[in-house]
Chains A and B, each alone.
Chain A
Amino acid sequence: MKRILLLLLAHVFVTSLTAQKNLPALGKIDKADLEMKDCDFDKGAVAVTLIDWGNVYYDRGIEGVSFLNTIYEKRERIKILKESGLSYADVSIPYYDNNNEEKIIKLDAYTYNLDDAGNIKVTEVNKSSTYSKRINKYFSKMIIAFPEVKAGTVIEYKYKMERKTDQNLKSWFFQDRIPTRYSEYQINIPKFYRFSVQPTVIDSIEVKEEMNDELISTHKGSLSTQVLKKNFIMRNLIGIRDEPFMGSPRDYQQRLEFQLSQVDYGDGNIVDLRMGWSDILHDLKEDNDFGKQLEWAPSNTEILIKEAAAIKNQEARMKLIYTYVRKNMSWNGDDDIYSGEGINTAFKKHEGSSGDINLLLVCLLKKANVDAAPILLSTRENGLVNKHYPFLKQFNTVMAYVKLSDKYFILDATDKVSNYTLTPESIVNTLGYIADGEAGEWLDIIDQRHKYKVMTAVHGEIDTAGIMKGEALVNCNGYARKQRCDTYLKNKDNFKATYFSSANTALKIDELIVNNVEADSLPLEQKVKFSAVLNSSGNYSYFNMNLFSDLDKNPFVADDRMADIDFGFLQDFSMFGNYTIPQDYVFEELPGNFSMIMPDTSIIFTRNIQADENLLNVRMTVEFKRTFYQVSDYPEFAAFYKKLFAKLNEQIVIKKKTNL
C-alpha cells in the first residue's frame, strides 16, 4: 500500500482510530464557555480561539483547469474575553479571486451570548451583516460584522471554499496572536497524490490517520480510490506576542506547510515533483526569472564590465561593480528571490525589487569574471529556514555570494550605507542557500568581523555654579554605524532626538557634527558639544556617567518571555569619561570599581573609576560574546540586564568642601 509521505520532526504520537470526543456542533455551545472570564492557559488574553478546525478534501475538477478541485472547510470559534478584544469579532476572510481561483461557496456564522437570566442565546448572522469586497486585482475579502458582540460573547463562523487546484494545500497555523484552545487540521488525500509536510511544531501534537475507500467525482465521472485521512491536533497554545529582539514572530507560530511531492499514476508510474534541493536548483537555473537572467548582461554595461575586468585584484574588481550597482539602482522596497521585471528592464528603469537588483549584481560580477553566485535567503523579519524541507517559498530574498581565495562576501546592492565587508543586517544570523554548482551549498551566515560597536569619550568640566560643559566623541562601527546612518539619512532632526537628547533635560546639545556618513569604511563620527546643569540637593551635586552610550533604557523588563533573544550580531560598548570638578569641591564616596560576568561568560561588564584630586576618570565597557540566547536563559539574562543598567546609571556625588 502506498502511503503519503509525511515527515514529522517533533514529539508526534500517532494514534490509530481511537474514539475522539466530538467537537460541539455549529450553533451549540457549552454554557461554561460563555461564563469563562479568563483563558486558563494564557492569563490576561483579550480573546481566545476555542475551536480552530480545517478540513481539506478533493472534489470534481474543471476540464482543462484542474483534474480535481480541492475543497477547504474552515471553522473558527472565538471567545471575546475583554473589551480590548472586540476587534476579533471583525472577521475578514481573504481569498484569491483572480480567475475565480478561490470561491467561498457557503458561509455560516453565529453569535453566542448569555442573556440577563443566564440563558444561552444563539443568534445566526444574517446576510445583511456579511459583505464581499474586492480588495485588488488578485484578492477579495469576505467580511463578517458579527451582531451582538460584547466582552463575554462567543462568535463562530464556518465556510467552505472551492479552490481550482489539486496541487496546493493550504498551510495550517495552529497558533496566532490570541491563544488557541483546540486546533485541528484534517486532510483527505487520494492515494495518487503524495504531499510532504514541513512542520514547525514544538509542543505536543496528536496525529491520527486512516485509509478509506472512497468515490471522488471528477469532470469525467467518478473515481474509486483509497483516500488517506489524516488529522493533526494541538491544544492549549499561548498567543504570540511581540518581544524585543525576537527575530520573526512567525518563527514561534506553530504550523504545518505542505508541498506536493509525487503523483502516482498507477502501475509503478510515479512522477516525482519535488525531491531535493538539487532538483529545485536545477529548475531555478532554467527559470526565466532567475537562472536565465544571469546569462546576458544588460546593454550599456559593456564598458563597466571591461573596466572591472581590467582590475587585477578580485576584491577591488568586485567592489567596483557592487558600488556601481548600488549607486545606480534604487530599491522599490520589495523583497523577491526572482527578477520579475527582468534585469534588463530593471536596469533601464534604474529601479527594482531585491531580486531584480541583486541578480543584476550577480550577472555583472560573473561577466567580469568574479566568482559570484546568487544566495537565497530569508530575512530575519521573514523567519527561519529549515534546510530539511526543500521548499523554495521559505526564502524571500536573494543576494550575491562572492567567493575569493581566502574569504567570502555577501553583497546586497539595495543597501546604500553599509561597507561591502559587512554581512547585511537584514540576514545576519540566518541560513542561506548558495544557488550554484550541482547541489548548491548551505551557509550559516554569521559575521565574525563586525560588531555593533559604540565607543564614547566624554570630557566634562564642572564649574562652581554647578554647570558641566563638555565635549564628546561618539564613534560607531559595524552594525551600529549602519543603523545610525539609516536614521541620519532619513531625518537629521530625528537622529539628534534619538541618539543625543536623553531624558535628562538639564543636558543641552550646543553642537552636533556628524562625519563619514558617506565614507562607509570609516566609523560614523559624532562630535558633540554640550552643557548640563548638575542636579543637586543640599550640599550635594551629582551627575550620571552614562552619557551618549546607546545604553539608556533596559529593554528586558518583562517577567515572562516566549521567544529566544536574537541580537543578530555581537555588541561592544565602551565609555571613557574624564571629569574635573572645582577646586573647592570633593568627591563623595565614589561608586567602586566593579565587574560582572554572565555565568556562561558571554557578557562582561567592567567599570573602573579613579579620582585624583579634582579629576575623575571613568571607564565602562560592556562586551558580548554571544549573539543569541535561548528563552530558557531568560531569567538569568534579565537579572543580569537589570543589574547592568543599575550599575551603568550610578551617579557621581560631589560636595563642597567644608571650612574647617
Chain B
Amino acid sequence: MIKLFFSIGSLVFISSVFSQPGLYDVASIPEALKTNANSVLRDERIEFEVKAVDKAVFKFHQAVTVLNEAGRNELVFNETSDEFQSLGDVAIQLFDSKGKSIRKYSRSDLIKQAYGSGLVPDGKIYYLSIPAPEYPVTILTDYEIKFNSLWSYPKYDIQKADQSVINSVFTVKVLSELDLRYKAKNTSITPQISSDSKYKIYTWSAGNLEAIKTEKGIGNGDGLFPKILISPNKVEYDNYPGDISTWKGLGIWYNNLVKKDNTLSPAYSEEIKKLTAGAATSIEKARIIYDYLQKNFRYVSIQLGIGGFKPFSADFVHKNKYGDCKALSNYMQACLNAVDIKAYSAWIRGSSFPNIVDADFPSDPFNHQILCVPSIADTLWLECTSNIADFGVLGSFTENRSALLLTEDGGVLINTPKSKASGNFFSSTSTITLQPEGSGTASVQLHTTGEYKEDMLNYVFDHKKDDQKEFLIESLGFLQPDAFELTYNKSSAQAETNIKLDIEKIPEFTAGSKMFLNPRIYKLWTYALPKAENRTQDFYFANPFIKTDTSIYKLPEGFVLETLPKSKDLKFEFGSFKSTYQYDAANKSIITTARLQLDVIKIPAANFLAAKNFFNDVLTEYTEKIVIKKL
C-alpha cells in the first residue's frame, strides 16, 4: 500500500516537471539580475492567514537560485518550533542549472535539535544543510507553520543582501475585526487591499530588483534593504490578550502576561537596606547595590516559561545569584525599590547600529532588557548582565537608541544616551631606554575607560602570561618583547596597567650606523578602513574614542638625532589627529606625542572617503621614522 502511494507520488512529480520544462533554467535569469548577486530569488509566494486573535497559518513557497558558494546560506533550512508554533509539512527540491530536478527532501530528512541561546534551551529547531552538487543550483522550498498564540506577525523581507529578486508576493489575510498595521521600510511599494465578508486581504508584490551588494562596515545593515513591517493590533499569547497598537499597550500586555514577581521578601529587603545603610544619597545606594550585583551574580540564560518571556522572581535571583537579562534587571529593580528608589525595566534591541526600532510603529523587535532609574543623575541606565561594565555606562551594544520602559502605566518609548568620545579613552605613556646595538627596555603605563577598559578586563587582567603577550602584540601592535612584566590595579577607575618590557630590537630597521625608530613602540591605530571608491552605504564604527600617547626615547651613548618626522595636525569632519616630535638635546631624549579622536560612530557614505584618507594618514604616521645615528 505504501509502495503504491510512493509510485503515484513520483509519477505526479515527474509529469509536473515535464509540463514545465526548465522552469528554473538558470539561462532564463536576466543578466542584470546576476550582477553583484550571490543568489536570485526566482519566485516567492508567502501567505499568512490570521484566523483568530491567537490562530494563524504561515505558508511559505520559495525558489532561489544560488549562483556561488557565497550564497550557500540559501541551501540551509532552519525553522524553530515550540509550544506556540508548530512546523507542518516540508518539501524541498533541488534543480540543476538546466532546471532539471535532481534531489528531494521532506520533513523526515530534517534534523531536530533542542534550540536556545542559553544554558537551558527552550524551543526546537528543524535543520537541514544541503550540500551543493555544483553551482548554480536552484532550491525550491515549501512549508507551513501553525500558530496557536500570537504576539507578532512575520515581516516581509523583500530582498536580502547580495540577492536579486525576480518575483515575490506576500499576502496577509486577517480577520477584518482584527486588521493589522504595516510600514514600508526602504521601499515605496504599497499593498493591494481587498476584503470579503470576514477577512481583509493585503497583497504586496515585488519583482525585477537588482542585487544590493553590501559594503564592509554597514553595522546591522538595517536601512539598506526593502521590507514591510507588519504588526498585529490585538494579540493573545498563552491566553493573555492585549492591544499592542501603541507602545503603552504593548507594555500593558507584557506586564499582564508575565505578572512578574518583583518584590523582595522582608528578610532579603533588610539585607539590601543594611548593605546601603552607610550611603547618604540615592546614587551612592544604587552604586553599592550595582557593585554587589556585579561581584556576586552571574548571567545564566534559562529560556523557560511562556516562550522565554517569564523571568525568575526577585527572591529566586537573590537566593541563587543568577539569572538572564530579564531576571537580573528585575532583581536590580526590586533591590532599588527596597531602598525607595524607583526604577523601570527597559526593553532594548542590543546590536550594532543603526537603531532598528521605529518609534512610529509599535511592535516588538527587542532582544534584551536593561534598567532605567529616572530619578538619579538625569536618568541612570544600568546594564545588569555584565560583571565588568562601569556603573551607569551603556556600551556600544545598547547606547543611543530606543528603549521601551515598562512602567506601571504601560510602555513608554525613550532614548538611551549617546556615548561620548571621552567615554572610551585610551592613554599610554612610555619611556624607552635604547642601547647602542638596538636593544632596550621600555616602561609603559596605560589608562583606559569604556570599551578599552573592557578589553583590558576581558583579555589582559587575570589572564595567562602568553595571552597577555598575544594581546600586546596582536591587538595593540607592540614590538615582540623577549620578556615582560605586567601589573595592574583591578579596582582603579581607569584600569591602570604598568608594563615593563625587554626588547631585543627596538628600531624598525637599521642601515649602517643609523637606527630607524617608530614614533612609538606599539600602534595607536591599526585598522585600515575598507575601500572607499563609490561608497554608497553608511559606515559604522563600534564606538567614538580618544587615544593619546606620549613616548620618550632615551638615546644610547654616542648617538645623536638625524631626522624627526614633521608634526601632524589632521582633521576631518568627525575626528582629529595631532602628533608632535621633539628632541631634548640636553637629556639626549626624543619626545613624541599623539592624540587621535573620533567623535561619532556613523560615517555617512558621502564622508567616507574623507574618513578613509584621514585614517590612512594616521596609519602612515606610524611608518614615518625617527632617524638617529652614531657619531
Contact = CB atoms under 8 A, between A and B. Distances in A.
A44 B623 contact: no
Contact of A150 (B132, B295, B509, B528): B295
Interface size class of B (residues with CB under 8 A): 35 or more
Interface stretch (A186-194, A221-229, A533-541, A596-604): A533-541
Contacts of B42: none
Interface string A233-253: 000000000000000000000
B462 A136 contact: no
Contacts of A128: 316
A133 interface: yes
A145 B69 contact: no
Contact of B509 (A145, A146, A591): A591
A145 B302 CA distance: 9
A350 B458 contact: no
B319 to A, nearest CB: 7
Interface in B286-330: 295-298, 300, 302, 304, 316, 319-322
B300 A145 contact: yes
A271 interface: no
Contact of A558 (B462, B466, B620): B466
B562 interface: yes
Interface size class of A (residues with CB under 8 A): 35 or more
Interface string A473-507: 00000000000000001111000000001010110
A443 interface: no
Given A538-B563, A651-B509, A653-B516, A136 B464 contact: no
B517 to A, nearest CB: 10
Contact of B526 (A86, A89, A489, A503): A503
A149 B321 contact: yes
Contact of A651 (B467, B470, B504, B508): B508
Nearest to A143: B120
Nearest to B129: A333
A323 interface: no
A108 B458 CA distance: 33
A137 B112 contact: yes
A84 B131 contact: no
B625 interface: yes
A94 to B, nearest CB: 11
B480 A554 contact: yes
A44 B469 CA distance: 13
B111 interface: yes
A557 B479 CA distance: 11
Contacts of B571: none
Given A89-B298, A90-B119, A506 B620 contact: yes
B119 A145 contact: yes
B473 A557 contact: yes
Contacts of B465: 43-44, 559-560
A40 B28 CA distance: 69
A540 B625 contact: yes
Nearest to A132: B120
Contact of A490 (B70, B131, B388, B504): B70
A535 B516 CA distance: 12
Nearest to A129: B320
Most buried by B among A43, A538, A539, A649: A538
A558 B470 CA distance: 7
A537 B624 contact: yes
Given A537-B626, A538-B562, A351 B69 contact: no
B616 interface: yes
Interface string B447-482: 000000000001000111111011001000000100
Given A506-B623, A537-B626, A557-B469, A44 B319 contact: no
Contact of B103 (A83, A84, A349, A501): A349
A491 B70 contact: yes
A136 B505 CA distance: 56
A148 B320 contact: yes
Nearest to B104: A349
Given A145-B120, A538-B562, A588-B512, A558 B469 contact: yes
B322 A145 contact: yes
A143 B623 CA distance: 53
Contacts of B528: 501, 503, 505
A92 interface: yes
Nearest to A590: B511
A381 B437 CA distance: 44
Q: Name B's interface SS.
A: mixed
A41 interface: no
B432 to A, nearest CB: 18
Nearest to B457: A83
Contacts of B467: 44
A82 interface: yes
B98 interface: no
Given A147-B322, A503-B528, A535 B511 contact: no
A83 B516 contact: no
Contacts of A589: 511-512, 514
Nearest to A45: B464
A83 B388 contact: yes
A651 B565 CA distance: 18
A588 B619 contact: no
A328 B624 CA distance: 55
Interface string A40-52: 0001111000000
B616 A505 contact: yes
A332 interface: yes
Contacts of A306: none
Given A491-B70, A651-B508, A351 B296 contact: no
A143 B302 CA distance: 10
A650 interface: yes
B627 A537 contact: yes
A92 B119 CA distance: 8
Nearest to A535: B623
Interface string B382-423: 000001100000000000000000000000000000000000
A333 B304 CA distance: 33
A576 interface: no
A386 to B, nearest CB: 30
Contacts of A333: 129, 131
A642 interface: yes
B469 A537 contact: no
Given A145-B320, A149-B322, A330-B132, A351 B516 contact: no
Contacts of B296: 148, 150
B516 A542 contact: yes
B219 interface: no
Contacts of B297: 150
A151 B132 CA distance: 47
Nearest to B115: A135
B462 A133 contact: no
Contact of A136 (B111, B132, B470, B623): B111
Given A136-B114, A537-B624, A148 B321 contact: yes
Interface in B510-527: 511-512, 514, 516, 526
Interface string B99-120: 0001100000001111000011
A489 B71 CA distance: 12
A86 B302 contact: no
A646 interface: yes
Across the A-B interface, give the 9 residue pairs with the lowest CB-CB distance, nearest first. A538-B563, A589-B512, A147-B320, A44-B464, A535-B623, A330-B131, A558-B466, A537-B625, A505-B528
Interface of B: 69-70, 102-103, 111-114, 119-121, 129, 131-134, 295-298, 300, 302, 304, 316, 319-322, 387-388, 458, 462-467, 469-470, 473, 480, 504-505, 508-509, 511-512, 514, 516, 526, 528, 562-565, 616, 619-620, 623-627
Given A83-B387, A506-B616, 5 more contacts: A43-B464, A84-B462, A86-B298, A148-B296, A653-B511
22 contacts: A43-B464, A86-B298, A128-B316, A131-B302, A141-B114, A145-B120, A147-B319, A330-B132, A490-B70, A491-B69, A503-B526, A535-B623, A535-B625, A537-B626, A538-B562, A538-B627, A539-B563, A540-B627, A557-B469, A558-B469, A559-B465, A591-B509
